[in-house]
C-alpha cells in the first residue's frame, strides 16, 4: 500500500527525536521537514491548531497526528506489520509501559525543570532531589525488566524511546548546568542503558550532538526554555 509519512520537526527537540527513533526502529521511510519555530509554516499551524503549531507532527496520508507519546502509539498500531513492536501485545504489559512513560514526562521532566528553573535556591534543590528519586525509581524498573532495555527484550520499546529521546537534551543540560543525567554510582543500569541506546544505528543518526545543542541553547539566550516551550 502507498504510505506517505511526513514529519514536521525541529532538530533540537527531544520530542521530535523520539518520533524519528521510532520511525527508524520500525524501518519506515518518511520525509522530514525542518520547521523554523520563530516563523512556523502554514502546514504546521494548520496541522496542530490546538497547541499553536508545536512540533512534532506526523502527517500520515494527509492526516496529522500530534504529541510525541501519541505519535509513538500511532506508529506502532498503524504499522504493526513493520519492524519490532514498540508496545507489548498483552494489555497489562502495555499498561505498565504507558504508566512509566507518563512517569518520565510528568515526574522526571517536571523535577528536572524545577531543578533548572526554580525561583529560589531551595526550589532548585528540591527539584534536584525529586529528579534523583525519579532516576532511582526508573533504575528499579529497568532492573525488573531483567534485560538490557526497558522492553524486556534485546531491542528497545516504547518506554526506551520515551526516555532515550531525551538523552541529548539531558546531557546538554548537564554540561551547561551541572544537572547530572545518570549517576553511574546510584543508577549504574541506567548509565549502561543510555550508552547502549545511543549506540544504536536508529538513534545515532538522529540524536543531536551535545555540543550543537549547547551552542543552540546559548544562542537562544534562554537555554533552559528555548526548546521545551515550543515542542512536545
Each residue's pLDDT, cut to its tens digit, for the chain (232 residues) gives 568 999 999 999 999 999 999 999 999 999 999 999 999 999 999 999 888 889 999 999 999 999 999 999 999 999 999 999 999 999 999 999 999 999 999 999 999 999 999 999 999 999 999 999 999 999 999 999 999 999 999 999 999 999 999 999 999 999 988 988 998 999 999 999 999 999 999 999 999 999 999 999 888 855 444 444 445 6
**Per-residue pLDDT, 221:** 56
**Per-residue pLDDT, 211:** 96
> How do beta strands 31-34 and 5-9 pair?
parallel
What dihedral angle (degrees, nearest 10) is formed by the CA atoms of 140, 143, 149, 152? -110
**Per-residue pLDDT, 223:** 40
Q: Which residue ranges form the domains of the chain, and what is each CATH number?
A: 5-79 (3.40.30.10), 91-201 (1.20.1050.10)
Residue with cell 515550543: 230
- Listed in sequence order, the DSSP H helices in 26-108 are 42-47, 68-78, 91-103
From residue 139, alpha-carbon distances to 18, 87, 95, 99 in Å are 20, 20, 19, 15
> How do beta strands 63-66 and 57-60 pair?
antiparallel
**Per-residue pLDDT, 226:** 44
**Per-residue pLDDT, 222:** 53
Amino acid at each position: 500500500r502507498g504510505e506517505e509519512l511526513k514529519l514536521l520537526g525541529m532538530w533540537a527537540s527531544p520530542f521530535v527525536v523520539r518520533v524519528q527513533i521510532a520511525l527508524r526502529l520500525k524501518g519506515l521511510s518518511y520525509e522530514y521537514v525542518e520547521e523554523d519555530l520563530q516563523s512556523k509554516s502554514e502546514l504546521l499551524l494548520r496541522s496542530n491548531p490546538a497547541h499553536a503549531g508545536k512540533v512534532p507532527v506526523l502527517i500520515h496520508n494527509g492526516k496529522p497526528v500530534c504529541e510525541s507519546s501519541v505519535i509513538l502509539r500511532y506508529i506502532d498500531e498503524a504499522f504493526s506489520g513493520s519492524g519490532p513492536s514498540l508496545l507489548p501485545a498483552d494489555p497489562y504489559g502495555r499498561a505498565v509501559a504507558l504508566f512509566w512513560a507518563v512517569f518520565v514526562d510528568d515526574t522526571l521532566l517536571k523535577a528536572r525543570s524545577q531543578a533548572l528553573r526554580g525561583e529560589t535556591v531551595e526550589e532548585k534543590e528540591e527539584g534536584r532531589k525529586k529528579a534523583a528519586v525519579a532516576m532511582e525509581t526508573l533504575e528499579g524498573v529497568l532492573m525488573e525488566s531483567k534485560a538490557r532495555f526497558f522492553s524486556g527484550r534485546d531491542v528497545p520499546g516504547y518506554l526506551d524511546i520515551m526516555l532515550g529521546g531525551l538523552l541529548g537534551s539531558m546531557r546538554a543540560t548537564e554540561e551547561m548546568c551541572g544537572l547530572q543525567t545518570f549517576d553511574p554510582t546510584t543508577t549504574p543500569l541506567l548509565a549502561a542503558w543510555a550508552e547502549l541506546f545511543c549506540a544504536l544505528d536508529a538513534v545515532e543518526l538522529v540524536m543531536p550532538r551535545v555540543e550543537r545543542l549547547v551552542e543552540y541553547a546559548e544562542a537562544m539566550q534562554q537555554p533552559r526554555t528555548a526548546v521545551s516551550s515550543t515542542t512536545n
